[in-house]
Amino acid sequence: MLTMDSLIDYILRFGHLNTSEIASIKASATQIELKKGEYFSEAGAVPRQVGFVVQGVLRGCYYNQAGEDITRCFIAEDSLAADYLNLESHQLSTDYIQACTDCKLIVFSKAQWEGLSHTVAGWDSIKNKMVQLCMYQKSRKGPVVSQDASSRYLEFLKNYPDVMLRVPLRYIASYLGVTQQSLSRIRKNIT
Amino acid sequence: MLTMDSLIDYILRFGHLNTSEIASIKASATQIELKKGEYFSEAGAVPRQVGFVVQGVLRGCYYNQAGEDITRCFIAEDSLAADYLNLESHQLSTDYIQACTDCKLIVFSKAQWEGLSHTVAGWDSIKNKMVQLCMYQKSRKGPVVSQDASSRYLEFLKNYPDVMLRVPLRYIASYLGVTQQSLSRIRKNIT
DNA sequence: ATATTTCTTTACCAAATGGTAAAAAATGCA
DNA sequence: TGCATTTTTTACCATTTGGTAAAGAAATAT
C-alpha cells in the first residue's frame, strides 16, 4: 500500500533492503490515524512505540514549572515520532507527543522495532542512523538562544516552511520562546 | 595507566568488556594534552578524531553571521568531544572544539574508533549508546529558549556547577544567549 | 615587579519583550 | 445560517535586555 512505501523510501536513505526485508518491515508495522489534538505518546508513561509520520504535523511538548504548555519540537512528514532515549532506557517520559493536525502514522511497537534486527541485515545500523539524524536535525533546526526573536522566527520559516501554515501560532510562539503577542507583532513588522 | 582507567570506567557504563577487550581499547587510544585556547577540532575540516575528556573543559563554538563567537556547548570531564555527525558522514564541520582550560584527552582516530568493532564484542552498541547519550544530554542540559535569562543562568549552574568557575564569563554568556554585561548584571541581582 | 592584556563590572539610554486586557478575525458546531 | 469557541491582533505600560562606553579587577607576559 502506498503509505507504507513512503516509510520504505525513507529507510532506504540509510541502508540497503532486499525484497524480503521490505516485506518483513511492512509486516511489522501498523497504520494508525490520529485526530487533531490526540496524543501519540504521553508524559508519565514509558514510551512503547516508534512512529513514522506519513501525513500531518505533531509536536513534542511538556508543561514547565509554571504550568505553561511548551512546544519542544515539531514533527512533520517523513520523520520519526518517538521519545527515543526513554523508549530505549525504559524510563518515564516527561513529554507528550500530540497531533497538531489530523495525522497518519506508521507505528512499530518497541518489540517490533527492535525485532527487525533478526530479519533485516544491518537493521541496527539503519536504526541508529535514523535516530541520530533525527536528534541532530532537532538540535540544528531548533531555535538558537543567542538570536533575537525575529531571527529565530525567520530561521523557523526556513526550516519548517510548511509547518507555519498548519499549526496555531501559540505553539510556534512557545517553540520560539516568545509570547504569542510578541510573535504576532514580530510577524507584522517583518511583512 | 590511570587516565586510561577513567575511559574504561566510562565505557563500562554502556556494556561489558573482558580483559582483552579493555587491552585493545587502551592500545587503540592515545593521550594528548591541550593548552588553554588550543583547538581539538576546527571548522572547515572533516573531523577525524573522537576525544574523551580526562581533565579540563572544552567548548564547541562557531562564528555566527555577524562574526560573533558563539559557544554551542561545554564539554567537561567524562564526556566525548567530537563533531560526531560530520565525522560519520565525512562532511565539513562548521564548529570548532576549543580547550577552555589546559586539558588531557584520550583520542581515537576515526579508524581506531570504528575498528574496535572487530576486537570488542558489542562495540557498535556501546558506541551508539555513548553517542546518543551525549546528544541527549547536550539537548537537555542546554539553555531553554522559553526561559528568561536569569532562569537559564540558574539552570546552567545546576547542570554545570563546576564549569562556571573554570571558564570566562563571556563564553557562558554566549552559551546562554545574553551579552556578558547582562549576565554580569543578572549574577549580581541573584546574589 | 611592572606593564600589558584580558576579563568583569558598572552606568546610561535605546530597543525589545512580557503582562494584562480587550477587540477583531477565524474556525467549528448546532 | 447563526452561535460559541478558539485564535490572532492590537494597545498600553512595566520590565528586561542590548549597545556603547569606560572604569576596575584579575591574569599574563616581559
pLDDT for position A191: 75
Using CA coordinates, name the residue in chain B closest to A142: B145
Work out the mean pLDDT of chain A and round it to a whole number.
94
Which nucleotide comes closest to A171 if you measure CA to C1'?
D7
Residue B180 pLDDT greater than 80, yes or no: yes
Distances (CA, A) of B106 to A53, A161, B34: 40, 42, 11
Residues in A closer than 8 angstroms to B74, CB to CB, are: none
To the nearest whole Å, the CA of A138 is away from the closest chain B CA by 9
Residues in A closer than 8 angstroms to B177, CB to CB, are: 144-147
A135 contacts B139? CB cut-off 8 A: yes
Work out the mean pLDDT of chain B and round it to a whole number.
95
B162 CA to C10 C1' in angstroms comes to: 26
Average pLDDT estimate for A11-16: 96
A184 touches strand D (CB under 7 A): yes
Instruction: Tell me the pLDDT tens digit for each residue of A23-42.
Output: 999 999 999 999 999 999 99
pLDDT for position B1: 65
CA distance A180 to A157: 16
CA distance A147 to A39: 31
Residue A71 pLDDT greater than 90, yes or no: yes
Q: Residue for cell digits 537559564?
A: B152
- For chain B, the residues whose C-beta falls within 8 A of a C-beta of chain A are 64, 68, 70, 84-85, 88, 124-125, 128, 131-133, 135-136, 138-139, 142-147, 152, 174, 176-177
Residues in B closer than 8 angstroms to A68, CB to CB, are: 146
Using CA coordinates, name the residue in chain A closest to B149: A145
Per the CB < 8 A criterion, the answer to whether A116 and A27 are in contact is no
Find and list the nucleotides of strand C having atoms within 7 Å of a protein beta carbon: 6-12, 16-21
pLDDT for position A181: 97
A110 CA to D8 C1' in angstroms comes to: 40
pLDDT for position A1: 64
Instruction: Tell me the pLDDT tens digit for each residue of A101-124.
Output: 999 999 999 999 999 999 999 999
Domains, in order of start, for chain A: 2-137 (2.60.120.10), 142-191 (no CATH)
CA distance B3 to A181: 53
Cβ-nearest to B132 among A70, A85, A139:
A85
Q: Which residues contact B135 (CB under 8 A, 6 or more apart)?
A: A132, A135, A136, A139, B84
Residues in A closer than 8 angstroms to B144, CB to CB, are: 145, 177
Instruction: Tell me the pLDDT tens digit for each residue of B109-131.
Output: 999 999 999 999 999 999 999 99
B147 contacts A177? CB cut-off 8 A: yes
B148 touches strand C (CB under 7 A): yes
CA distance B125 to B128: 5
Q: In what order do the strands lie in the sheet with B39-41?
A: B39-41, B96-99, B58-63, B69-75
- Say what angle helices B123-141 and B2-12 make with each other, to 10 degrees: 90
pLDDT for position A176: 98
pTM across the whole model = 0.93
Residue B10 pLDDT greater than 90, yes or no: yes
From its phi and psi, is residue A158 left (phi > 0), alpha (psi between -120 and 50) or beta?
Answer: alpha
